[in-house]
């Protein structure tokens, strides 16, 4: 299995500011995914990030609000821009293992916007 | 909505009883995975069942998959208080290469 770390683990931010979340994997992976989990809800896929290409965003999510970088096969960042209280959620990154066709998750970043 | 449906939304049982959760999805899949999440923490992968499999066991977990009905069930036998958590199914489709999560079931096991 892959070991995934995220930074920061939690943050409290002012509305109108931006936060960049980092995701580091201990092995090279092709596909990385970013999810949002609003309080008491399930996970919603924000975007899929491939190394060397633009991220693919799901309906309802746009690059201006959630820019993603994927500079190499072990690292990705998600920025939550111009935050509002509605952005308060847990943000999780995950990777897909082609070898076993399983998905592994980071511990998540708990964001509170005041 | 991109999400699958799970039922029940919430389930409360006594320790020692069995818990059954159901997941329905909308499109053809390559596999379906079940996850556990304890109180807002990270997701723990429980079990994966491929589209050509009908049943799988892992310890006290039993998963079934009916691709004709586009549904799966997770059975936890002899439940324990430590099983209290939210449980999610997630379907994977290689055509779109993404995972879609169900709405989740909140399980509470009373000691």
pLDDT tens digits along B11-67: 999 999 999 999 999 989 999 999 999 976 788 999 999 999 999 999 999 999 999
Which chain A residue shows the shortest CA-CA distance from B3? A44
Task: Report pLDDT for B109.
Answer: 97
CB of B65 within 8 A of CB of B55? yes
Alpha-carbon span A49 to A57, nearest angstrom: 9
What's chain A's average pLDDT? 93
Distance of CA A15 to the CA centre of its chain: 19
Task: Report pLDDT for B3.
Answer: 65
Task: Report pLDDT for B40.
Answer: 66
Q: What is the pLDDT of residues A4-42, one digit of tens each?
A: 999 999 999 999 999 999 999 999 988 899 999 998 899
Task: Report pLDDT for B1.
Answer: 47
Say yes or no for a CB contact (<8 Å) between A44 and B90.
no
SS (H, E, C) chain A: CCCEEEECCEEEECCCCCEEEEEEECCCCCEEEEEEECCCCCEEEEEEEECCCCCEECCCCCCCCCCEEEEECCEEEEEECCCCHHHCEEEEEEEEECCCCEEEECCCEEEEEC
Residue B83 has pLDDT above 50, yes or no: yes
**What is the mean pLDDT of the segment spanning A42-69?**
92
Alpha-carbon span B35 to A41, nearest angstrom: 14
Task: Report pLDDT for B80.
Answer: 97
Alpha-carbon span A85 to A60, nearest angstrom: 17
Say yes or no for a CB contact (<8 Å) between A42 and B103.
yes
Task: Report pLDDT for A81.
Answer: 98
Terminal-residue alpha carbon distance, chain B: 37
Task: Report pLDDT for A53.
Answer: 81
Which of B40, B48, B88 is opposite residue A43, by nearest beta carbon?
B88
| Band of pLDDT at residue A49, cut at 50, 70 and 90 | very high
Task: Report pLDDT for A98.
Answer: 75
Task: Report pLDDT for B41.
Answer: 75
Alpha-carbon span B13 to A108, nearest angstrom: 29
Q: Is B102 on the interface with A (CB under 8 A)?
A: yes
Cβ-based burial of B105 (10 A; exposed 0-12, middle 13-18, buried ≥19):
buried
CB of B16 within 8 A of CB of B76? no
Alpha-carbon span B81 to A27, nearest angstrom: 35
Residue B13 Cα, gap to closest chain A Cα (Å):
20
């Amino acid at each position: 299995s892959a070991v995934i770390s995220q930074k920061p683990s939690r943050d409290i931010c002012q509305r109108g500011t931006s936060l960049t979340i980092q995701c580091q994997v201990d092995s090279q992976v092709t596909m990385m995914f970013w999810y949002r989990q609003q309080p008491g809800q399930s996970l919603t896929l924000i975007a899929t990030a491939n190394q060397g290409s633009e991220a693919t965003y799901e309906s309802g999510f746009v690059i201006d609000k959630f820019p993603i970088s994927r500079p190499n096969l072990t690292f990705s960042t998600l920025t939550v821009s111009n935050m509002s209280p509605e952005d308060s959620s847990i943000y999780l990154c995950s990777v897909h293992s082609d070898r076993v066709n399983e998905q592994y998750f980071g511990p998540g970043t708990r964001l509170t916007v005041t | 909505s991109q999400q699958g449906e799970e039922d029940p939304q919430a389930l409360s049982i006594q320790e020692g009883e069995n818990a059954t959760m159901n997941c329905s999805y909308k499109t053809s899949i390559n596999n379906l995975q079940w996850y556990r999440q304890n109180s807002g923490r990270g997701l723990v992968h429980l079990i994966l069942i491929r589209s050509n499999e009908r049943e799988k066991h892992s310890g006290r977990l039993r998963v079934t998959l009916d691709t004709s009905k586009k549904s799966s069930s997770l059975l936890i036998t002899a439940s324990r208080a430590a099983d209290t958590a939210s449980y999610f199914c997630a379907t994977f489709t290689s055509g779109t290469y993404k995972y879609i999560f169900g709405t989740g079931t909140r399980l509470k096991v009373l000691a």
